[in-house]
Each structure stands twice: as structure tokens, then as C-alpha cells.
Amino acid sequence: RNRALKQSARLVTQSILSNGTEGLDMASAVRQWRCLRHLTAVGVAVVTSNGFGVAELFDYRNQDASAVDGITGGMYGIRLDNMVSGINAFEALAGAKLHSNTTGRKQRERYRYVCVVLASQILTLLDAFIFPDNLDSSKAASQLHGLALVRSTEPRLGKSQGPLLASLVRLSLILLAYLEPSSVRFLQACSRLRCFLHWTLEIIRESVALGGYSVAFHELNAPLDRLVLAIVLQCHRALSRCSVVLVEMESSPWDKYFSDSESRQKSHRRLFRAVLELREIVFAAYRGRNEVLRAALSLQAHEALARGLEEMSSPKFLLKSSKEASLRTFLKNDWMTSFHDVEAIGDMMISEQVANGQVYKNRTATTIGRQAITELVSENAAIVKEYSDLLGIPFNLYCENQRRWAETEAVREREFEGNEAVKKFAIKYRSDSVEGNKILMAKFSLAMKRMLWIVRTSNDPWNPFKRWLFPSTTDTLYRRILFAPNYYFNDHADACYESTLGKERDKITQEETRRKEKEREMTEALLRVGDAIVPYDESALEDFEDDDPERTDDEILIGWKSENDGNSESDNDNNGEQKFNTKDTESVTLESKSIGSEWDQFDDTDFGENDDSDPDAWAKKFMWSEGEHFVQSFESVVIVSLQSTMEGKLLLTTQNVYFHQTEDALDVFTKQPVKRDDESPRQDLQWKLSRLTDIHGRRYMLKAQGLELFFADMKGLFLKFGGMKERDAFFSKLTSNCKAPLLRPMKSLNPRTVFKKTKLTDMWRKRKISNFQYLMMLNLMAGRTFNDVTQYPVFPWVLCDYTSETLNLSDHRIYRDLSKPVGALNPDRLAQLIERYNDLDGFVSEEEKFLYGSHYSSPGVVLHYLVRQEPYTSMHIALQSGRFDCADRMFHDVAGCWDSCMTSTSDVKELTPEFFTCPEMFINTNDFPLGQTQSKIPISNVKLPPWAKESPHEFIRIHRLALESEYVSNNLHHWIDLIFGYKQRGPAAAANHNVFHYLSYEGSVDLDKISDEVTRQATESHIQNFGQTPSQLMVKDPHPPRSRVEDDGPLLEKNLQALRCHTPAKQFGGSRNAEANGPVISLHALGEYVFAIYSDLSFCSYKIHFIRGVVPFTFKAEKTRHIISRKGSRSLSAVWHALNVEDDIPFEADSTSKEAVSLGLGNSSFAISLGGSAKLSGSAVNSADSSYLLLSCGYFDNCLKVQTLDSSSLRYNQNGGHRGQINCLQVGEDGTVMVTGGQDSTCRVWVIDHDSFASSLTDGYVYSSLGFESGLLRCCHVLLGHVSPITCVAMSTKLDVIISGSEDGSICIHNIRSGKFVRSLHVDASTKEVKHSCAINGISVRKLAIHVDGTFVANFSDESMYLFTVNGQKLADINLEEQLYSMIICQQSERLITGGEKGLAKIWTLHDLSLDCTVDVSTYGAITSLVLTPLDTSQTAQYLCVGSSNGSLSIVYKSL
């Protein structure tokens, strides 16, 4: 085929060059050559219209290539060595794999491949004509052989392309830009372009000789001069690519890119030949048309080019250097190593070496180069326009022919037939319009629901009549402290026990009789279980092993250490869970959802029926992510929630979990369908795996067939599968085939294995976590969950004294014996139980014998305790057949409940976690009709022990202190052995009187072996209602005890009389000649380092090291620097804000002292964070670590600034989305989440340097739609609720709470991870009463501080200070009689520290705001900032650092 092509080409060219005397006849030859010219012009137009014209090639960013091209496998470019000769567009299109859904950069890359192939094939075809084989290329005449052929212009596409030679140059430049530099095709393209350049210079010389003008860019030769400039610029870029490839080729092993070493050597030689050709092209352009380069290049670029070329051409250099060495030297000259950047001017890209008015050596370059590039852009536009116009000519001709055809008689007959068809379609249209109206009405209904949600959200802060319920999620310590709004409150007035007497007595009596009869039948059925009983085999449990690699303590604590998991929520209410239908709380199966959260789901009831051919079409109603695809589906999966169970189909994809409800939701107690609107469809739900953080195996009906998925907002999804095999399949597919960036690695679902691999026990023994945290984690690992009331977490009774007026927590007599179960605490009762246990001999098997008929944890126990708060109120009523239980049996007295547990043979219940976290469980806040006892005593709030002083909050505080006491810490391991350890089952359990009904133990019965339906139902009913024992975590060895306290603990925990204050003499501030001036406006502590920020924005670091002596530490001033860079904001005319009152702090007379005030900076304007990514990588705590970031706000340009801690270099400087000044900021305990408060009355939640965590907080689709990119800071929520500027913020990531105060006195509480508004309150300025709504006549809030246990302190502008709970309850208030400038809480010792204008550091007891101690530092002026050094292993003592208004830093320590 190649020989035939060359023979035809020789005949055509001979005929044209000999004017028809040789070869073909002239007409045929001209016709064929014109066809080729036309094909070339079309090719140029095609590549130009697709964005690859000469001007577009100057955008070097689009020429970037990976080391290996993804389509052809080329090295830093496209490889075309295997392409055949001739036009082969089909293969190019097939190789490009173009798809309609490919957009952006990927689409351009694939079009680039097609254009490169097209250009290469056209040039290869023309090579046979303009470079025939019979010519001697060494002769000058032969080199100009093809010039006569390429001089002409193809008029059929206009004159914008110029002569054929210009078109060939344009195509050659494309190959130069994108081909693999070491390939054969690239070398051919260089050689071909070198010849084209010679021809171009020849035409220019002829034009100059004809016109007598040699000036650059003259109108006679300007188009060709511009192409010469383009050739030089592209050669510069191509040489740079060759240099990169050369370095990569020589620094990498040969087998990285080549099949053998010989191939590498060939490529190496080709690369140097290509460099030689490119250098010769540049040299030819420089010699032949230097006027163009001198005019179009910048002065510096032209000087560098001239110097490099003249050096290469000097005889002295040529004698000394080999060819390869000279080429290497040329690649390293200044012109080659510089000028790689481009400047964007509108849509035009200009290389930095093009003349554009640059100044060099006091000389200014012209703008001729820029004008030349502009003209090239215009040429591209003209080429595309002419091509588009010519493409439209056939269409216009077609339209004219169609018009003529339409006027014929045959068409008129068809028109009549068409009219009849139109009538039929019109009838169908009318019917379709009816369906369309239904769709519009459905959309309108959905929009109205969305509007109702918006109205409700907007009105929430002003609604003082809210009702509350237990939240569906916990905080990161697995506590449920912050209550959630109950928008569907039911007062249950018709469920009062007394109201059901009288006329309904007979009905209730009959129901009671039927219930007892059914219980009797079930009891008899249980005796027939027989072969289904599984004997307890301890050895099998001891030998169980798993291949799960050891998981660290951070991995096993689900969400407890939030810095490692990115715990947060995303779609306001949803946490990755999307559903369409919003229902009442008593009819919804999982929980109530926010209206308006269904933005990414289409309703199938509005848009027709599902496609029967696709069983998973229901899942397509959701917006699927890009690249998301099906993994596996699971039938008959049940979602287990607190109030109901819901069966359906589960669909697992690579990025989501979808659930399609197939059966009605069933109440967990009645097993009857949950009432719902008949018109409402069943639910379709979605959970995003990008928010999944952990997976734990769960039991259901004592069978290991469940999973609980934990998401970033601490919500849990309890899934029950058809069996263990299906459960394990789901777990395997999810962990191996799905994208879950926050999911911790794990390979086992067995609780015993998970516990065995973790270091949780070591952390507890070393007192790194509290008793409460340890018990919660044991519960969760043992299968206890808040999603299943039958497996609720269990906590111990820790006290036995509920009658004394006061408690001494150091007296061991007030504590319960933790080495015995509740049933064995009373010896007399235990004797009765043992007698009954022995009487069972001969009636039941040894495995069926039990000591206690009831259990320490069951649904009845949980609802007994929590009946006063929803949703447990509704569940209690459902359990009691639609009414409250008899008042005498309800939980109304803590002491009476304890006495019952000590005396009754059927009452051995333990406690729930709420006894240590939730005072609201004792208060009938909803005024439910709980009835009255037989003694006519009305039941409302729970009667508390005398030592609680009738305060539920005091009871919870003391009860929590008792749980963390030394006695409980030293004996808790005994109770753990009983509930979770080796004393739970087997001989050890019998020896410790810890034997319960056999149906409460895991694996005691195999329900699949029970064939009788009645017996099976009876067994299931017993398992569900009478309690289940947690999974056994320790089979053989006893749990180790907790270690003793080895240090004095927190600074403020005890012995406050020993506090002393020392002000070191050598400091950066505190004197007129100091390096830092003005007050200490902010203090921060990291390990042994303390960082002080002064009002002149000096940033100073100090090191405090513990020693033994009179002053038990050394204090060393390390270094000082300024935190504002040249890009920072400094202006003495800025608005002052931080301290609110200009004369609050007594400044010195010099102007630098007031600089921070004029900047609006204060101690709430700075924070230090390690950032989420650095936390995950495990960076060490080091003051010099560049991972630490300093965040600041309050500048006049309203920007939020982020600087590195070690060098103060600016990394982020944006306004953060606030409209106006940012007044305050605070970073959470984990250093990953930040909140800012602004003058625009909004707060914003940020994630610091953790993209996966940020994506889990909000919807990633929203980010992609808005074009947000990953970065150092990402705003995830905008918190609304205030109507005046924010003055202060406080946050606790462990509590998942943000508290904000504003100038009008409003205090708003939001969730961090969901961004949901929870409640607002204010103190009325007239009455001093606390009101639960936004402020109308409130007192401005100055300072806020929050404790992790759910209380916070607010300081107001009238010098008052209030203590609140996060649920809005006021606990204490005092008048300070001074203005505070700093206020912090010691989390370990529950102390409040304040400092203000009097210069006194006051230490308060947090729970009642009583003053404990005062430290006087008034010698140094007002106290402007406070900080406590952290407690860690490297610091053996804790210190309080106090910053004063004269710049002094004082250290408060405890005397040894």
C-alpha cells in the first residue's frame, strides 16, 4: 500500500512541476492535488475548532502529561509508532473511547488524541508527495522540491489559513506539543518541521526582496512571521519536555518504561536526535528571521536565546565538546531553564517570554509579541468561522430542496393523513395532561412540605413552648445529655391509669385474663423446647481465635476520640440517611425526619409505577454518585429501632446503602403494624458510606445475625439479616468493595475477639479514660445498643445509702458491694433463692436451672426508669396495653427502688447510663398523668435521696462522682466479671450466685430447631421481654483491677490552699523596653510550652518544665515573632470590637498598647489546632512542629487567617463567608472542628485540614455542585438563630454542642455535626428571669465556657454570671461586681476560673458557683487571659498561666 501511494504521488508531483509534460495529464494531477489541499485545510479547521489551534497550544497547562499516557502508553506524550499510514479516523475514534457523559478535562484529553492522530495521518500522507524517495535531500534543489507544491492557497475554505505551507506548520506544531518526545513519530515531526521552516523563510525572503521591506510583522509577511514565532515558542516547550524525559529515562531502571535495555537505548538515541533537530530549528529561525524574535520576545528572553545559540555555534565550543555534551549543555542554558510560565489575559494564554511590556535592565519591552499572539487567536477564530459557514451550505441547500418538495401534490395527500394522526395524538395529549397535572401537584405538595420545614426552622428560636425528648443519637462519649425538640408531642391524657377504671374495668379485666392465659400457655410451651437447648461449652469459647489484626485503642473507641474519626453529620437532620416520607413520631418506624431533607430522591408515586423488569428500580429514585455501582442485594433484612422493626430489601452499592420497605413496620411490643397514613407509601431509605465510621456485630433473639453501623454523627443503624451467613456476606462486601473513607479497618464481628485485640482495658487501668467511658465501651462491644430496648446498656448500682443527709464519697460504707450481683446483696433473700434453685432438681435439666427468674436488664426495666421522657413514655404505654402502669409499680422513689432490689425475689435490676448523665429522667417535664398511689399520693417527679437536696442535677453530679470514686475504681472489675466476664456463665457464675434463666444467655437455644410454632413464639417472647445477658467478653481470666493514682491529679482538684503564684523576671513583655508590648491578649498551652500573644501582635513562646524545689518549675523564654505577615491586615482605624468597652483594660500610654484594640483582637480571636490530617498521621506534640496552626480573626478586612505556628507563614486568608467582621472563634478539644461568630449574626462550623471528615459533616453533592474544593478550611454549616452580632462562642466536640451569645442577650445552642438549632434562651434585663426564646429585652452576653458534662457558664454585661445546663435549666447565678476579661473551665476538676479588671484570679466550684480560692496578681494590672497547661504523661504537674494588662505572665502552681 505504501509503494502504491508513493508511485501515485510521484506521478502527480511530476505532472504539476513539469506543467503536464511528465506523469499524469495536468487536469487529473491538479484535481488530485487540490483534493489533498482541501483535505489538509479541513483537518486544520477540525483540530482548531476542537481547541487545538496554534494560539491554544501556548496554554502549556493543557500539555501536561503523566509519566505514562493513559491511552497509548507513551512516555510523557502520545505514542503513535504503531499507527498505519493513511487516514485512519475510525481507529482514532475507537481508541479515544469518547462518551457523551465525558466532560471537562477528560473529554479534552480524548479529543486531543483524535486530533493528534488526524494531524499525523494527514502529514504522513502528504510526505509521499512533497518528499519523494527519488530526491537527494543533501542537495539544495531537492530541499526546495516541495515548496512549489505548498505555496498555493486552498480557496474552498477561504483565505484565513493562508498557503498550504501554513496549514502544514499548524499540524506539525500539534505533533510537537503532544507526541512522545522519544518516539519515531516525534523525530519525524521535528525533521518535517525543520524543512517547513526553511520553506517559510524562503517565502519570506522572496516577499522581502519583492516589496523591499525587511521589518518584522510587515503586512506582506506578518502571517508567516507569526508562524515563525509560534515555531520558536513550541520548540522551547518541546525541548523542555525532552529534558524532563531525559532526566526520567536516565534516573529510572530500564524496565520501568521499556521491555528491554535495547529499546531504552534506541529511545535514548532518538531523543538526542530530536533535541538536535529542535535546536537546529531554533537556530535557523534565529539566523533567518532574527528581526521577528527580537521584536516579539522579551528583552531578557531574547538575550538568553542569543547567548545560548551563539555559545553553541562558537568554534571553540564545538572543538571541546561532543555532540551529546553540546546538546546537554544547550538544555541547561538560561533560555531553556526559564520562561515556562504563562499569563492568562481573558481567554488568551501568553508565554512569559513573549514581549508584553516587561522591564529588564531599565529597558521596557514592546507589546509586539502580545499583538502577534492576539492575531494568532484572531486567525483561529477566522478559520473556525469559515469552516462553520461552509458546513452550513449543504444544510441550506437541503432546506431549499425540502421546501420545493413540500409544494408537490404527493405531499398534500400526506398532510391529510398527518392531520388524522394529529387528532389521535391530541386525544392522547389530553390524557397525558391529566397525568402531568398530577405530577405538578405532587411537586407542589413536596415544595409546600419544604416550605413548612423552612418556616418551622425560622420560627424555632422564638418558640417558647417546645416539648423535648431523648435524642436518637449520643455524643462522642455515648451519653444522651442534650435533648431534642419533640414536634409531635402527645400529652397521653387518655392513658392515665385511673381514667381507664370504671366503664373500662371489664374490658381491662378481660384483657388481663387473656394475657395471663397466654403467659400460662407460653410457660407450658417453654417446657417443650427440648432438643433446642444448647449446653454451655466454656472450652469452645476459650479456644476461639480470629485473624483480626490488633486494633488500637483509637480504632476501637467508636467516635470517642473524635480527632481520629471525623465525627459529624451532614444533611441537617439526616446524617447520611435520606428518606422521602415524613411521619408522626408515634407512627414512624425509625425516627422523625426533617421535612425538606429529601432533595435527592424522586417519588415513584408521583412519576408512575416502578419498572417491573428492574427489581432495584426503587433505588434509582435517589441521586447516585458518579462511579457508583451495584455490589449486592439482600432480601428480608429487618431494621431494628427502639420502637419498631421494619422489614425490606437492602441494596449495597459502592458508595451507599439503600433500603426498600416491603412489609409494614411492627411495634416492638405488640407486633402489630404501626399506624400510618394509608396514602403514604412505604419508606425508601439511604445511608451514605462516606459517613460510616464503624461496624459492630450484634445479636438478635440471641442469634448472631445482626450488624450495627455507626455513622459520623453517632447514629446507629441496626440491621438484622436472615442469618449469620448473610450478615457476614454483607460485612465482607462492604469492607472490600465499597468506599468508606472514615471506616476503621476491622476483620472480625465477634465481640470477644474485638475486645481481646483492643487496648481499652490498659487505657482504663492507666486512668486515661473514665469508669463511665469504659463501661459504655464494654456495653457496646458486648452487643448492647440504644437501638434495641431488649439489649439496652447496663450500669451498676454503685451506692447503697439513699437516706443520709450528706454523703462522704471517701467512706466505703456508702457503696454497694460490686463483687456480688444485685440478687446476692441481701443474704436472707439469697437463701430463699438458693432454696428455690435447689428445688428445681428433677423438674428441669441442669442447663435450665436458674437462680433469678427476672433479669438485671430488660425492656420493662428500661421503660420503668425512663417513663417520664419520650419516646420511652409511648413505649411504656404500648407495653402496658395502651395505658400507664399502676402508680404504685412505677418508678417514683430512688430509695424505694433500691429497697425493692434488696428485698424482692423478683427484682434484681441494675441501672441504665442515664442515671449518671440525665437529670431530666427524674422530672415529669411533660406533665404526663402518671396517676397516684393507693395512699393517694400523686406521682410526678421522682423522689430523690436527702443528700441530693431535691435537685436531680445534684443527684446526677454526686452519682457520677461516686461512679468515678476511688472505691468504685478499685472494685469495678469485680462487677465487670459478673456482667461481661468469666463469672457470667459456667461454674464461676454458679459459685458467685450469678445464674439467670437459660433463655437469657447467648447461644443457649437454637430457634431453628424448634418446629412447633407455639413453642417458638413462646421462646421468642421470653427472650424479648425477660432480658438478655450481654455477650461474654472474658471467658477464663478475671478482669485486672485499676491502677492506683500515682500523681496529685489536676491543679484545682483539691488542697487549693497550697496554690502559689510566681511571676518570672525574664519575659518578653511586662516592661517598657520589652520585646513585646501591651497586654497579654491570648494564652495557649501545648505540652510544656505556653504561647502568649500581646497587643502589638507579638507571638512569644515559653517553656515550663517541672522540677522539685521551692518554685517547682523552670520558666524559659524561647523565642518571639510577629504573627502578621506582609499579606496580613493592620490598620489603626479598624473597628474596635473584642473587649466591647474601650477603657476596660488599663493600657499604657504608648500607642502600641492599643493596637490590638484598634484591630478588634482579643483572647477569643485566637486558637491553635493541629488539624485533622496531622492528627490522623500521628504527628508528635511539639511546639516547633509545623503541623500546628494558629487561627485568628478580628481584622478590619473581615478575614480569617491561618498561620503556621513555627514560622508564622500565612496559609489561609479568606473572609470565611461572613458578611462583616468575624468577632470570635473557638477550636474544639480534638483540634479538627472550629466555630466562628460574626457581625452578621451567624456562626459557621469549619473543619480544619480533614477533607473526609468535612464531607461527612455535609453533603458532598452540594460541594460538587457549588464547586467547592478541598482545602485547609472547609465551612460545613451556617448556624442561624441570632438577630444581632455574635459576641462569644463556646463548643465541646465531645458533647457535640455549640453555644453562642449575641449582643441582644440571646444564647443559642446548636449541634456541631448536624448544624441543627436546638434551643435558645436569654436572661430578661428587667426581671432577671431565664426565658426560653430569643431575646427581646435581654442582657448582652460577654463570655461563655462549657463543661463536657453538659453545663455552661455565661457572663453578661451587667457583671452577672449564670450557670445553665445545655437543656436550658438555670442552676446558679451570682453578681461578680467586676468586668471579666477571661473565663475558663477546668474539665478534670469541675472548677471555673475567672479573671477581670480587679486583677484577681478567682476559682469557683462549678456546680453552685461558690468561691473557693482567690489568687491576687493585681500588681500587674487587670487579668486579660488565662490558660491551664494540659495533663499528660510528660508533664507531672499542672499550672495556671495568667496574662496581665501590663504584659506580665504569672504562673500559679501548687506548693509541694
pLDDT of the residue at 809: 94
Lowest-confidence pick of 775-784, 1048-1057, 1167-1176:
1167-1176
**pLDDT (tens digit per residue) in 9-44:** 777 777 777 776 776 777 777 788 788 888 888 888
CA distance 686 to 576: 7
pLDDT of the residue at 510: 65
DSSP designation for 1125: -
pLDDT of the residue at 1111: 75
Residue 1351: C-alpha distances to residues 580, 771, 930, 1320 (Å): 36, 20, 29, 15
H/E element, 645: strand 644-653
Nearest to 661 by CA among 643, 638, 641: 638
Q: Around Cβ 1375, how many Cβ atoms within 10 Å?
A: 9
Question: Is residue 1325 over pLDDT 80?
Answer: yes
Q: Are 1244 and 1291 in contact (CB under 8 A)?
A: no
Three-state DSSP class for residue 1399: coil
Question: Is residue 1360 over pLDDT 70?
Answer: yes
**pLDDT (tens digit per residue) in 454-487:** 666 666 666 666 788 998 888 888 899 999 888 8
DSSP designation for 407: T
Q: Are strands 1400-1405 and 1410-1416 parallel, antiparallel or unpaired?
A: antiparallel
pLDDT of the residue at 1253: 85
pLDDT top residue among 524 and 1449: 1449
Q: Are 1442 and 1059 in contact (CB under 8 A)?
A: no
**pLDDT (tens digit per residue) in 523-557:** 555 555 555 566 655 555 554 444 444 444 444 44
pLDDT of the residue at 443: 67
Strand partners, 1233: 1247
**pLDDT (tens digit per residue) in 302-328:** 888 888 888 777 776 666 567 888 888
**pLDDT (tens digit per residue) in 963-988:** 999 999 999 999 999 999 999 999 99
**Angle, vertex CA 20, rays to CA 19 and CA 23, nearest 5:** 125
H/E element, 314: none
CA distance 921 to 944: 12
pLDDT top residue among 1102 and 566: 1102
Cell 502529514 belongs to: 123
Q: What is the mean pLDDT of residues 210-227?
A: 82
Question: Is residue 1403 over pLDDT 80?
Answer: yes
Q: Around Cβ 1026, how many Cβ atoms within 10 Å?
A: 18
CA distance 772 to 764: 10
pLDDT of the residue at 316: 64
Nearest to 916 by CA among 955, 865, 866, 970: 955
pLDDT of the residue at 530: 53
pLDDT grade for 1162, boundaries at 50, 70 and 90: low
Lowest-confidence pick of 157-171, 1095-1109, 1121-1135, 1301-1315:
1121-1135
Q: Are 383 and 45 in contact (CB under 8 A)?
A: yes
CA distance 402 to 395: 10
**pLDDT (tens digit per residue) in 457-466:** 666 666 666 7
pLDDT of the residue at 726: 95
Strand partners, 992: none
Q: Around Cβ 412, how many Cβ atoms within 10 Å?
A: 10
Write out the E strands in 341-481. 342-345, 348-351, 359-360, 363-364, 468-469
**pLDDT (tens digit per residue) in 480-508:** 999 988 888 888 888 888 776 654 555 65
pLDDT of the residue at 423: 86
User: Helices in 131-183 by DSSP H: which ranges?
Assistant: 140-143, 147-150, 164-178
Cell 427524674 belongs to: 922
Q: What is the mean pLDDT of residues 682-693?
A: 88
**pLDDT (tens digit per residue) in 58-89:** 876 655 556 676 667 677 788 776 554 444 54
pLDDT top residue among 591 and 440: 440
Extract the C-alpha cell encoding 1397.
479588671
pLDDT top residue among 210 and 1148: 210
DSSP designation for 1129: -
pLDDT of the residue at 676: 64
pLDDT of the residue at 602: 45
CA distance 1372 to 1369: 9
Q: Is the pTM of this model over 0.85?
A: no
pLDDT of the residue at 105: 55
Q: What sign does the CA torsion over 144, 146, 150, 152 have?
A: positive
Question: Is residue 433 over pLDDT 70?
Answer: yes
Q: What is the mean pLDDT of residues 267-277?
A: 89
Q: What sign does the CA torsion over 524, 527, 532, 535 have?
A: positive
Cell 387473656 belongs to: 514
Sequence-separated (6 or more) residues with CB below 8 Å from residue 1043? 765, 766, 767
Question: Is residue 360 over pLDDT 50?
Answer: yes
Nearest to 551 by CA among 768, 759, 707: 759
Q: What is the mean pLDDT of residues 691-716?
A: 91
pLDDT of the residue at 718: 95
Residue 443: C-alpha distances to residues 440, 446, 456, 573, 604 (Å): 5, 5, 20, 22, 12
Question: Is residue 369 over pLDDT 70?
Answer: yes
> Exposed, middle or buried, 987 (CB in 10 Å: 0-12/13-18/19+)?
exposed
pLDDT grade for 637, boundaries at 50, 70 and 90: very high
pLDDT of the residue at 587: 34
Q: Are 965 and 1042 in contact (CB under 8 A)?
A: no
Sequence-separated (6 or more) residues with CB below 8 Å from residue 1111? 1062, 1453
CA distance 380 to 348: 12
Q: What is the mean pLDDT of residues 160-176?
A: 87
Lowest-confidence pick of 612-626, 772-786, 1013-1027:
612-626
Considering the chain, what percentage of its residues have pLDDT values greater than 90?
A: 34
CA distance 1079 to 1448: 8
**pLDDT (tens digit per residue) in 800-825:** 999 999 999 999 999 999 999 999 99
Question: Is residue 1141 over pLDDT 70?
Answer: no
**pLDDT (tens digit per residue) in 842-890:** 788 888 889 998 999 999 999 999 999 999 999 999 898 888 999 999 9
CA distance 279 to 305: 11
pLDDT top residue among 921 and 579: 921
Three-state DSSP class for residue 226: helix
Mean of all residue pLDDT scores within the chain: 81
> Exposed, middle or buried, 781 (CB in 10 Å: 0-12/13-18/19+)?
buried
Question: Is residue 606 over pLDDT 50?
Answer: no
**pLDDT (tens digit per residue) in 205-215:** 888 887 777 78
Question: Is residue 169 over pLDDT 50?
Answer: yes
pLDDT top residue among 547 and 165: 165
CA distance 1347 to 1390: 8
Give the torsion through C-alpha atoms of 310, 312, 318, 324, to 10 deg. 180
Three-state DSSP class for residue 1098: strand
**pLDDT (tens digit per residue) in 88-107:** 545 555 555 444 445 555 56
CA distance 579 to 684: 6
CA distance 42 to 119: 11
pLDDT of the residue at 1434: 54
Sequence-separated (6 or more) residues with CB below 8 Å from residue 854? 906, 907, 908, 909, 1026, 1027
CA distance 1038 to 1250: 41
Q: What is the mean pLDDT of residues 338-364?
A: 86
Q: What sign does the CA torsion over 1148, 1151, 1155, 1158 have?
A: positive
Lowest-confidence pick of 219-233, 528-542, 1024-1038, 1386-1400:
528-542
Numbers of helices and strands, H then E, in the chain = 36, 44
Sequence-separated (6 or more) residues with CB below 8 Å from residue 883? 495, 496, 497, 500, 877
H/E element, 248: helix 222-251
Q: Around Cβ 211, how many Cβ atoms within 10 Å?
A: 12
CA distance 824 to 975: 12
Question: Is residue 417 over pLDDT 50?
Answer: yes
CA distance 1208 to 1196: 19
**pLDDT (tens digit per residue) in 1422-1442:** 999 999 998 865 556 889 999
Q: Around Cβ 1117, how many Cβ atoms within 10 Å?
A: 17
**pLDDT (tens digit per residue) in 1213-1264:** 887 778 888 999 999 988 899 999 999 999 999 998 888 888 888 754 344 4
**pLDDT (tens digit per residue) in 1287-1308:** 999 999 999 999 999 999 999 9
pLDDT grade for 895, boundaries at 50, 70 and 90: very high
Q: Are 236 and 335 in contact (CB under 8 A)?
A: yes
Nearest to 1079 by CA among 1447, 1441, 1386: 1447
Cis bond before residue 1040 (omega within 30° of 0): no
Question: Is residue 579 over pLDDT 70?
Answer: no
Nearest to 1351 by CA among 1390, 1398, 1303: 1390
Question: Is residue 1149 over pLDDT 60?
Answer: no
Nearest to 1005 by CA among 993, 989, 994, 1021: 1021
